[in-house]
Copies of this chain bind each other. A is one copy, B any other.
């Protein structure tokens, strides 16, 4: 059976969901973020695609820092709200309990199980979005979200997003071990 076209504007399935934090005009602000990824192994760099006219863009340029906060599924209303309204129009600074880490200028969310604190190291300008690349200078979590010293996704219970159907999902079952599940195939070949 042949594949058929699904159009050009198909989004990656599934996208992780985060709240991108920055200080804009002296105030902590957060936007819903689905477009982000690690981009470099050493040092640990992470990049995020942000609409050029988003309030956040000005904050990141100004402070040269940002945070990526991973919410748990119970925060779905607040996460979605942060994607519906702009910090230009409403003050989102009181929505969460905010804390700061090593940089002192990347606002992080106490309610989020995992927060990555980043210092801007570069950016790539694309037609409608700027892709900000930051070095992860620290990450923050709580003991209750870790197993054997590592953040545990089942305890964090993050959200996923699919587009263009615009639905949120949770993470399902563990189905295998990475750098391991294909070892028998490597032996066979």
Residues of A bordering B, CB below 8 Å? 1-16, 18, 34-49, 51, 68, 70, 73, 76-85, 90, 99, 108, 110, 114-116, 122, 124, 126-129, 131, 133, 136-143, 146-147, 150-153, 156, 158-186, 189
**Contact between A4 and B140 (Cβ–Cβ < 8 Å)?**
yes
Give bound CA distance, A51 to B42, whole Å: 10
Shortest Cβ distance from residue A53 to the other chain B in the assembled complex, whole angstroms: 11
Give bound CA distance, A141 to B167, whole Å: 19
Give bound CA distance, A128 to B42, whole Å: 6
A175 in contact with B138 given A15-B16, A99-B3, A122-B124 (CB within 8 Å): no
> Contacts of A126 on B, CB cut-off 8 Å?
39-40, 45, 122, 133
Give bound CA distance, A138 to B42, whole Å: 33
**Contact between B182 and A78 (Cβ–Cβ < 8 Å)?**
yes
Integer count of this chain's copies in the complex: 2
**Contact between A80 and B176 (Cβ–Cβ < 8 Å)?**
yes
A47 in contact with B39 given A168-B181, A177-B167 (CB within 8 Å): yes
**Contact between A40 and B127 (Cβ–Cβ < 8 Å)?**
yes
Which 5 A-B pairs give the minimum distances between C-beta atoms?
Answer: A80-B182, A81-B182, A172-B172, A37-B37, A3-B140
**Contact between A51 and B47 (Cβ–Cβ < 8 Å)?**
no
| Cβ-neighbour of A139 out of B8, B39, B128, B153 (below 8 A) | B8
